[in-house]
Amino acid sequence: MQGNSLQNSTRLGTIDIHFTTTAVHGTLILERELEEAELTKLIEQIDEDLVLSADMPRDDFLVSVYVGRDVGFYSDEYFAGESGREADLSDEDEV
C-alpha cells in the first residue's frame, strides 16, 4: 500500500502489513517526518481502511515507523538485465 496525503496527492510512504493469528504487524516507511498528531492519524486511517477491512480477528495492531527515502526498485528482471551487461563488459575488457 502506498499512502497519499488526504489534502493532496503527495506520496507519504509505504506500508507492509502482515497478519498473524493474534496480531497485525505493520512496517511504515515515511518519506518525510510527520508531527506526532499527523502520524497517529495516519496509523488510525491505515487501521480503519486496511486492517479492519480485512475482517480478521486481532488483539493488537503493532506498527514500526521509519523515515527514509526511496533509492530504487529492484526485481528479477532488473538483475537478469544486469547479468547480461556484465557479460558484455567482460568481453570488452578482453579486447
Instruction: Output DSSP code: residue 67.
Output: E
Angstrom distance (rounded) from CA 17 to CA 15 = 6
Which pTM was predicted? 0.71
Q: Are 61 and 15 in contact (CB under 8 A)?
A: no
- Domain residue limits at 14: 2-70
Could you report the per-residue pLDDT of 31-45, keeping only the tens digit for each? 999 999 999 999 999
Say yes or no to pLDDT of 29 above 50.
yes
Within a domain: 83: no
Within a domain: 37: yes
Q: Please give the grid coordinates belonging to residue 69.
A: 527515502
DSSP string, 36-63: HHHHHHHHHHHIIIIIGGGT---SEEEE
Number of compact structural domains in the chain: 1
Within a domain: 58: yes
CATH number of residue 40's parent domain: 3.30.70
Within a domain: 57: yes
